[in-house]
Amino acid sequence: MPAMPAQPEKVLLNGETLEPQDLVRLSQGGLSIDLSPDAWARVAEGRKVVDSILAEGKVAYGINTGFGLFSEVVIDNDKLRELQENLIRSHSAGVGEPLSRERTRMLLALRANVLAKGHSGVRTETLEQFLAAFNKDCLSVVPVKGTVGASGDLAPLSHLALGLMGEGRMWDPNTGSIGDAAEVLKSKGLRPIVLGAKEGLALINGTQLITSLGAEALMRAENVARCADIACALTLEVLKGTSNAFHPAIHATRPHPGQQVTAARIRALLLPRSEIFQSHKYKGKVQDAYCLRCAPQVHGVVHDTSAFVRSILSV
């Protein structure tokens, strides 16, 4: 009998920090996502807040009012769906080339993880459809330009939601080309999302585009910095340099974290394992060129900067 196709590995989102390396891994495809039981419970509880506001006839911004200058305008209950859908349509105003499918996967996965916190008031059935689109690789076309970033990635996230509503354009997972969103969803057995009260706002009020692209940039930067440390160690080895400049006692006197990371990495790579080391054992050299002996101080700044950026992205 032919081998059964392997089920894709499932990643459970719980609203906690998605590390940049995890996000980049999700962008590559071949993985499925779901929420942890605790996350599903938080989402359900969060929705009860919205439902209770409506049931009690209260007025709350973005739930049953207009937006911005129209925040004082109360919207009738029979118009709440139209209000949310029009919010998505009106903000789908991005321009330029589409994000790559990899970056769109990051955007979709990260937005799902934020919704998993249970603070947004989205319904569980809406989030289920959100996850199903990721797992079926049904990715909305999201133009690269149009976000204001610090005030929210409203335009990119609106395009993301628009495709899931069966409007606009979507990447066809069968062909890799771009097609009509409604037709792509139908071809994969998915229904368009029908928005309830507050859900349009819930899907777009965040900064997941700049976070996704930042995570990718951070991973690239960390890899480059790591390669630079390795290149320095290799250079020292072939030039028969000395490892004295990387002694831990030296770097403990001015203990910048990144500086110590580089020094420790170079020391580890210069362990006496190679024929070159055995030929000289780093003896007879007073000191090496500045660009070699001070690599920890120079490379270390990059490691420190990356650590700072990682802390911001994690929050």
Query: Could you give the residue numbers annotated as active site?
Result: 61
Contact in structure between 197 and 50 (CB atoms under 8 Å):
yes
Tokens 């789908």, residue? 92
Q: How far apart are CA 257 and CA 135, in angstroms?
A: 40
Could you say which DSSP state residue 215 is in? H
E strands, the chain, are 9-13, 31-35, 95-98, 139-140, 143-145, 169-171, 178-180
Contact in structure between 214 and 101 (CB atoms under 8 Å):
no
If one counts every other C-beta atom within 10 angstroms of the C-beta of residue 22, the result is 17
Could you say which DSSP state residue 197 is in? T
Write down how long the chain is: 315
> How much helix, strand and coil, in percent to the nearest 5, is found in the chain?
55, 10, 35
Contact in structure between 260 and 300 (CB atoms under 8 Å):
yes
